[in-house]
Each structure stands twice: as C-alpha cells, then as structure tokens.
Structure 1
C-alpha cells in the first residue's frame, strides 16, 4: 500500500526542493563563472604619466582552467585592456600539470608584460625549474627583486617578494624596501601573495600592494562576508577588496581558482583590474 505525502507537507517539500535547486545553481555558478572587479587607486605620489595605468591581477589560479585551453580566462584578460599583468602567487601547486604555468604565461604575454611572484603552494615542490622556464618565455619572475618602470621621463617601482614558504635565508621585507629606497623614492607597487602582511607594508610606507591568498573566505554570505578564513585574517577580515592605512593601500583578490577541497559559494573566481590614478 502506497503512502502519500500529507497535503500539509507538500508546500514545505516544494519550498525545500526550490531552495536546494537555487543553492545548487549558485554553487555551480560560483565555481565556473569568472567575474571582473575594477578598482581605482589614487595617490598624489603617482607620477602623472602613469595616471590611468591598468594592472590586471590574477591570483590563486591553482592550475584551474576556464573554457577550452583556458580561452575564457584569456578573453576576460583581453577585455580588461591591461598595460601589465600581475600574477600574485599560487599560479600552480603540487597537483598542477608541470606545463601549466609556462603555457598560461605564454598566452598572457601575448596580451601584456607579465610580472609574477610565488605563493605558498608553489613551494610544496621545488619550483625553481618552473621559475626558470617562465623566465625563458620572458615572464618577469620577481623573487625579492624589483624593476623600474619608466614613462615620459617619470618612473615608478614594481617590486615583488617570495612567499614566506620560500627560502629560509631570503632577505627580510625591511631590508628589501631599504634596498629599493637606497636607489629611489619613487612610488612602489608591491606584489606579495599573503594579505596578512598588510601591516608590514604599512610600516614600510609601501604605496600599493597587490595580494591574494585568502580566496575571499571561500564560502561567503551576503552581509557577512567570508566564512572560511585563515587564522591570520580572523581579526582583520581582510580577505577581499581594498584596505588603506596611512599612505598604504592593499588590494586583496578573491582569487581565480579553487582550493581543491571546498567549493566556493557566493564567491565567484575573480579577475582584478587596478587602475592607478594620480591626484
């Protein structure tokens, strides 16, 4: 004898099914649809010739692809019209195809010059061969190093640091900035994977920092923000967006890849566009 669902329960069951379908659709969308977020960052220290410089930031890809041969990623970067592309760590990890980094960078280089710093996951395996291969295709791999960008007789510093998971004997952040300041007092754009280093860069008067690492908190809720955050971010909650303290601004990307275990929710993979503005 078949047992039917009581009529009083049917509306509740229908509602639950609808809610489940909405959550499932939102979860899928949150993991497959790239979004682009644009910020304008103002500074009276930025030379006028660099006003309007467009920096596309890609962070925490973790070897992920969007579309066939990553075509959707490249299309989104092209649409952002970058002057330079900044890769702020975790481009690849211990599970990534060894050729991914070079293949991805080779395509990005067709769009704009590429500057890269390591994240924590690259160091799960010895990444030095990959770094070397990236340099061979003309990626600027910044390992506690910097370059001077020049335009119309004016200049800024583009610098980048290894992740703390890198070599134990790397130069300290303080000594690195002192090294830069011994050569120039120009505006500094720093690439640094970990958002938790914000206060260090504030103390060192670095003008602008591009970071990632936090994946936006992975699971986000409206009005609450990221739920799954690193211990270092628990108090600050600096897991996505822009943060300013003193003369220092940090841009934290939500990242363009997954974390491998927990799906993103209400937190689409993100391409960041930073437009520099001179006051």
Structure 2
C-alpha cells in the first residue's frame, strides 16, 4: 500500500505567493507599462466669463530612442486638439533621448506650450535600489551624467514654439484666454527659485482683470504649491511622482518621492493655502527610468484637463 503525504501548508502558501509575484512582474514589466491612457478631467479655474481651455498635460516621458510605442502614442495626442500644452519635465531618459522626443512631439509643433525641467532633463538616469524610495525622497546620484539640455530647450522653444517657465513667468493669450503662467525648475534637486518669481511676474506688467494664472512645477513639493497659491495661481500642474509607479490596488501610491500627501500623488485634486483653494493636477507620467521598467496599478498617462470659468 502506497502512502501519500499532503504538501506542507507553508510550502503551498509560499508557492502561491511566488506565483502571484511572478504574475505581477509579468503584468507590470511586460504589459501595463505599455497601456498608455489619456485621463480626462474638468476643473473650474478660469476667470469668470472665459471660454473653456483644453490643456494637455504631459510629464515624465523619460524617453529612450528605442521606445517607439511611447513615441507613437505621444505623437497621437495631437489628435486631441488641445489649446495649450503643459510639460512638467523629465523628458529625457537616455543620452540620445532627444531623438525619441523629436519623433514624439513633432505633431505638437505650433500648439502653444510651456515647460519646466525635471532632473532627467539635465542629468541622465543611473541604477538605483528601488527599495530606498520607501526611506524618503531619493538623493542625487554621486556621479553625474549630464545631458544636452540646451539642445532640448532649443527644440522646445525654436521648433515647437513653447516657452520655458524655469524660475520664470510668461504672458500668453490662448484660445481667447489671457494667461499669466509661472514656474520653477526641479524642486526635488533644490533648483526652484521661488524668490525669483515675484520679480518675474512684475516684469510682465499690470495684470488685466480677466487673466487666469497658472503655476507649473516638476516636483510638487508643498513649499512650491504653497508658494504658487500665495503668488495668485488659479490652478497648479505638477509631475515627478509617477503616480507611485508601483501601486497597491485599492490603496494607491505607496511612495511619491516628495512630501505631497500620497492620496494626491496623481490625478486632479485641490490644494489649499491660507484662504484660497485651487485645482491641482499631478500627472502620473507616461514613462519610467530605463533601470526600473515597470508599472503596476498605475498606467502611464497624459491628462486632457478642460479648464472652465469659475462661477
């Protein structure tokens, strides 16, 4: 008579955990990071009586030249016919990333746009232990691999017609809407110069009463968000967080790589400073570091945010 011994429950549990982990890795690495999506939302932020403004918010492409699926998808966003493009940085993910950015953004040429820098518009990515993100915001790498930021900026300004808001301000009229816009360079690297903005804003001249004010940052640190609201922003745009990149279904982001509350690490919410509350849109971005090619429960995205008149 042959006896059979049931498998030890611990071994069964271990096998189940291993199988689930393998399935999650296959999904996050092989599938979800290619499931590009457009998140559409509406927020009241424009001056009373203004016509709606369709804003395409792009962030964190982290582009490498071989990423053709991402390039094709970004190029297709021109079909949304946005009135304004807001690019919140980290466009480059490789020393030759501008090649892919050119292919991705070429159809957007001629659409009014603004941009700010993230660190990966200046410094190339490097291998990192992703577990360290749970200990707090990441640190700058010790060995810096500088990218050709000047070439990227020249492409954005000279060929696409976009305006840099890196510690600067600008005045545009878009789809009949007078806009004052200001922004800072990457606050995660302490490149933000909030103290420079009042002078930059004053240099634009007196602000007409029907003007809408937009603030743009790569990293949505609380000091920046508070400073923007104090400076009169009617809406704020940020990126950097990747929406957590690897999220827990039903819970959301586990890390944000800055001090923004985790529940606001992606999507449209509001930010209150003093007696003012304004819309805040944080993009989950459409890319990832070439050294961390995964997304889980956090699809790569761009946002089509329709701004409407305040009541």
Q: 1:139 to 1:6 in 2, by over 3 A?
A: farther
Compute the displacement of 1:63 (Å). Answer: 0.7
Compute the displacement of 1:267 (Å). Answer: 0.9
Whole-Å separation in 2 of the counterparts to 1:168 and 1:78: 30
- Aligned pair count reads 270
- Is the aligned partner of 1:145 residue 2:147? no
Q: Return the match for 1:240 from 251, 257, 266.
A: 266
- Is the aligned partner of 1:19 residue 2:23? no
Asked whether the equivalents of residues 201 and 248 of structure 1 are also in contact (C-alpha less than 8 Å), the reply is no
- Is the aligned partner of 1:252 residue 2:253? no
| Per-residue CA distance 1:17-56 (angstroms, 9 max, x = gap) | 753454234313331111221110113x5253422x2111
1:114 matched to which residue of 2?
Answer: 113
Q: Return the match for 2:255 from 228, 231, 241.
A: 228
- Is the aligned partner of 1:30 residue 2:32? yes
Q: 1:24 to 1:150 in 2, by over 3 A?
A: closer
For residue 130 of structure 1, give the secondary structure of its aligned residue in structure 2. helix
Asked whether the equivalents of residues 71 and 101 of structure 2 are also in contact (C-alpha less than 8 Å), the reply is no
2:300 matched to which residue of 1?
Answer: 269
Asked whether the equivalents of residues 89 and 193 of structure 1 are also in contact (C-alpha less than 8 Å), the reply is yes
Compute the displacement of 1:140 (Å). Answer: 1.1
5+ residue gaps, structure 2, are: 124-145
Q: 1:81 to 1:237 in 2, by over 3 A?
A: same
Q: 1:68 to 1:5 in 2, by over 3 A?
A: farther
Asked whether the equivalents of residues 241 and 258 of structure 2 are also in contact (C-alpha less than 8 Å), the reply is no
Compute the displacement of 1:119 (Å). Answer: 1.5
| Per-residue CA distance 1:94-138 (angstroms, 9 max, x = gap) | 54434333343323227x333322222212235123212332213
Asked whether the equivalents of residues 118 and 193 of structure 1 are also in contact (C-alpha less than 8 Å), the reply is yes
5+ residue gaps, structure 1, are: none
Whole-Å separation in 2 of the counterparts to 1:18 and 1:200: 47
Aligned-residue CA RMSD (Å): 3.2
1:59 matched to which residue of 2?
Answer: 59
For residue 193 of structure 1, give the secondary structure of its aligned residue in structure 2. coil
| Per-residue CA distance 1:129-187 (angstroms, 9 max, x = gap) | 321233221331323131321555x5222444333458788962343344457444421
Asked whether the equivalents of residues 142 and 159 of structure 1 are also in contact (C-alpha less than 8 Å), the reply is no
Q: 1:213 to 1:107 in 2, by over 3 A?
A: same
1:187 matched to which residue of 2?
Answer: 212
For residue 277 of structure 1, give the secondary structure of its aligned residue in structure 2. strand
Q: 1:14 to 1:236 in 2, by over 3 A?
A: closer
